[in-house]
Every structure is written in C-alpha cells, then in structure tokens.
Amino acid sequence: MQGKLRKAVAGLVVASIACAGGLAYMHANAAESNVGELGFANELRIPPLAEGVLDADGTRVFELDLQEGSTEFRDGVETPTWGVNGSYLGPTLRVRRGERVRIEVRNGLPEATTLHWHGMHLPAAADGGPHQTIEPGAVWSPGWKVGQPAATLWYHPHMMGSTAAHVYRGVAGMFIVDDDEADAAGLPGRYGVDDVPLIVQDRRFNGDGSFDESAGMISPTGILGDEILVNGTRDPHFDVTTRLVRLRLLNAANARIFNLGLADRRPLWLVGTDGGLLPEPVERETLQLSPGERAEVLVRMAPGERVVLRSFEPDLGADFFNEPFVGGKDEFDVLELRAADELSGPSEPPSRLVEMPEPDPGEAVGAREFVLNGTTINAQAMDMGRIDAVVERDASEVWVVRNDASIPHSFHVHDVRFHVLAVDGEGPPPELSGLKDTVNVRPKTEMRLLVRFEDYADPGLPYMFHCHVLQHEDRGMMGQFVVVDGSDERPGRIEAEHADHAGR
C-alpha cells in the first residue's frame, strides 16, 4: 500500500513538473511574429462602396445580404467564410449627417444572427444588439436619421453567445458618416485612393485552409491569430499616389490589440478617433487600438519609396504570466505602402480640422461604477432580461470603469459617443481626447467617462455596454441600459425572448 502510494505521489510530481515545464515552454514560445517574412504580394482589396438608393421620400436605402461562401486568401486554397454581399466582409456603407437611412438586412446564414451599427447614435430598436435577432431567411429593416458628426464606424453581428464566431467567419464592414464640416477640413477624401479603409484582423488557419476557431488552450482572451488580414487580403500592399494618404484604421479582431505604426517610425498624424475628427492633427509614432476601436491617421510618403505598416509589440500592462498569452509579445507586418514615382497633392496636413466641444463634467447628473473582472461586469454575467442601468434622456453621467483583472478589456457603450475625463486620475492622452465609443481599459486601471444620452428613449428596449473582446462578450461580459423619458416607468427587468442564452 505504502509503495503504491509512494509511486502515485512520484507519478503526480513527475506529471506536474512536466505540466509546469510545458506551460513554461508555451510561455516562452507564445510570441508570434511575421516581421520580415511577408512579400506583400497581393494588392490590397478595397471593400466596394455602397451608397444606397434614394427612395421616394429621400431615405437612403441599403441592401445587405448575409451569406455563406468561400474565400481564396491564399492562391488555390479555399477557406469557408461568411460575408455581406460577398464571401468575406461587406461593403463600406456611406451616409451623410442629416440623412434618413434604412438598411434591409437579409440573413442568408444557417443560424440566427444580428447586425449592429457600432458607433451609431440611433433608437434602441434599430441598434442591432442581441434583442434584434434575425432568423435564417428573415429580413430586418431598421431605419434612423443620421444625427452625428463625420466619423468612421463599422457594423458586425452581436448575437448573444455567438458574436465571436460570426465576426471571425467574416461578417463585418465599415460604415462612414460624412458631413460638411469634415469635408471642409482639407483631408484626403477619395475613397480607396487617398482615403483608405483598413479593416485589420488576425486569423489562424487550419492545414486544410479553414479558419481555426479554437480559442487556444491557454489564452485568457480567446482567438489570437498568427496571420494578418487587411480588408480580407493576406500579405497586402497598397499603391500610394499622393504625398499624404489617410488611413481609416479599424481593429476588427476578436481579441488582439494592435500597436500600429510605420516600420521606420516616421510620425503618424492622428486626425480622428471613434466618434469623429479631432480639432487638430496630433503626431504619434504608434497608436494602440483594442478590438472595436478606430483611428484615422495621415501618413506622408516620398516618391518611389516603400514603407511597412507594422503592429509593434503592444504595451498591454498584463501580468508576467498573462502578457504573452494576450498577445503582449507579438509583432506583425500588416501592409506595405508603395509610393508611385510621382505623387500629387499637399505634403502638409491641415493645421485645423473641426470644432469639438470641450467636455463639461459639471453637467453630469450622477456617476455609476462598472467593475470589469473575469468575464463579468460588477460581478454579474449578462442576463437578457435584466436592466442594469436606467438613464434619463438628455442627461449626462460619469461612468467610472475599473478593470480589476490582470488582462486588458475593451469597453464599448452602444448609442453614445463619450469623452474620457481621466485615466487613473490623470487627463487623457491625445488619442483619448476625442470622441470615443470604445476604450481599452488597462489592467488595474480606472477610467472616468462622460457619457450623454440624447434623443431616443425606450423603456422597453435596452442598449448594451460590454467588453469588445468577443469571447468575453459571449461569455457574459455585457450589461444593458435603457434610456427613459421623465414619465416613463423605470424597469428592472424586461421580457426577453432569448433570455435563456444569457450568462453562459
């Protein structure tokens, strides 16, 4: 008996040493890099521009078909994918401030999904969150009036429990809002020529060419790919014909934080963030974008040169154990910019862009706290029937978002654009000084946001706030708020058709 026990203990010790050794090995080898390995052989695909059709009453109508297909990312290798009006990703929608829009979304996918307009200010019923499910074969036609400044937004599914898979398979696209003030700012503005959408995603492929949807055994953040796609193009280059080129950067990855800059460290001029343009360009060497965030930057090119857009090792602030497993050691070449021998247009960015109102924390009627940890917010998992916050229409609140975890989380609020008032008590850095709808909340960090809820009230239908790391969102790192009008009742719960999907 004694001998048997000793043998068992010895076995256990050996096993745990092997296990710890394996973990240490994975820890040391978790760094991913493709730097220097790409040939930039493929011309960057530019998503087709959809400008819609004006109907009799002046509403701009778009048709979006969600569909299954297959995509050749690598010559001769077909990858089963999902897309919008195509096999992977979707068209860039373009609207003007002041216009009424309607979008007819047909779900040709084999399962129910939704389509959410990320960054758009609209009624809750049009938001495309988890309550606006579209069954296979069904059509959903939300409409609203575009009432916000020019900005780079995007669209993607938001289905309770399966957002990560639906986005990963390829359902996403850019959504650009224009207005007169941005037109007058003097920025490059020819779509696909000197105003270039860049939908940046990481993907991992199986040997047969299919996407590897397994989340990785160790990663606490879900899928991290080892290859980069830009607008669905692997190994891409873009031919630049102007001295200044405007890049609309969108981090459409499920989990990866990119730290984008040019390989020779020349400056980027940051001209816009999630919710619109900045008052003036700000020079940055690199720009960190967490899932869901956007930035518009200008890059200056010289005739005939080539420069690589790279994602440098990000500064995630995760603990020693987790850092490599959340992508903190990874570096990627993303895209090569190739300048023509002759370039046109100005070489200096405009000095002034648009007017932006200064945030006034004094207007806030109160504050509430959101603590991020594990895959919960305020220690609760998402419940489709539970209303977590009731806010008054046309009121401002301070939202204090604190990340108690040792990995980063990406906090997104639907419907609104907010100002970052402070990060750990300090004023925001330039990249957080513009209007935002998604922010990276670093580990052990507190951010104070000034959020204003305008125009639309609906006590029966909530908007979401959630982590934009999609695996976290799917696992319940999400909550709901309703906007109410003076006389509305203040619901604590609502009827929710899909409540049983929640809190997994």
Residues lying near Cu ion in the complex (CB under 5 A) are found at 409, 467, 469, 472
CB of 254: closest distance to Cu ion in angstroms?
11
CB of 266: closest distance to Cu ion in angstroms?
33
CB of 409: closest distance to Cu ion in angstroms?
3
Which lies closer to Cu ion via its Cβ, residue 253 or residue 308? 253
Q: Give the bridge partners for 153, in sequence order.
A: 175
CA–CA separation, 478 vs 500, rounded Å? 15
CB of 205: closest distance to Cu ion in angstroms?
25
Token pair in block for residue 146: 């575009």
Which lies closer to Cu ion via its Cβ, residue 300 or residue 468? 468
Which lies closer to Cu ion via its Cβ, residue 457 or residue 467? 467
SS3 state at 320: coil
Q: Give the bridge partners for 261, in sequence order.
A: 286, 310
Q: What is the DSSP string of 123-169?
A: -GGGS-STTS-B-TT-EE--EEE--S-SEEEEEE---TTTHHHHHHH
Q: Can you give 240-292 as a three-state secondary structure string?
A: EEECEEEEEEEECCCCCCEEEEECCCCCEEEEEECCEEEEEEEEECEEEECCC
CB of 165: closest distance to Cu ion in angstroms?
17
Which lies closer to Cu ion via its Cβ, residue 299 or residue 469? 469
Burial class (CB in 10 A: 0-12, 13-18, 19+), 55: exposed
Which lies closer to Cu ion via its Cβ, residue 229 or residue 469? 469
CB of 23: closest distance to Cu ion in angstroms?
22
Which lies closer to Cu ion via its Cβ, residue 270 or residue 372? 372
DSSP structural state of residue 319: -
CA–CA separation, 473 vs 16, rounded Å? 33
CA–CA separation, 437 vs 164, rounded Å? 19
Is-contact 490 388, C-beta < 8 A? no
Q: Could you count the other beta carbons within 10 Å of the beta carbon of residue 218?
A: 14
Which lies closer to Cu ion via its Cβ, residue 310 or residue 409? 409
CA–CA separation, 422 vs 48, rounded Å? 39
Is-contact 277 149, C-beta < 8 A? yes
Which lies closer to Cu ion via its Cβ, residue 182 or residue 441? 441
Closest CA to 446 of 359, 394, 370: 370
Residue 449: phi and psi, rounded to 5, are -115, 140
CB of 9: closest distance to Cu ion in angstroms?
39
Q: Give the bridge partners for 247, in sequence order.
A: 196, 297
Which lies closer to Cu ion via its Cβ, residue 148 or residue 376? 376
Which lies closer to Cu ion via its Cβ, residue 140 or residue 399? 399
CB of 407: closest distance to Cu ion in angstroms?
8
Which lies closer to Cu ion via its Cβ, residue 106 or residue 442? 442
Q: Can you give 96-121 as a three-state secondary structure string?
A: ECCCEEEEEEEECCCCCECCEEECCC
CB of 152: closest distance to Cu ion in angstroms?
23
Burial class (CB in 10 A: 0-12, 13-18, 19+), 404: middle
CB of 253: closest distance to Cu ion in angstroms?
13
CB of 472: closest distance to Cu ion in angstroms?
3
CB of 493: closest distance to Cu ion in angstroms?
25
Is-contact 278 296, C-beta < 8 A? no
Which lies closer to Cu ion via its Cβ, residue 409 or residue 448? 409
Chain centroid to CA 491: how far?
30
Cα dihedral across residues 471, 482, 174, 152: positive or negative? negative
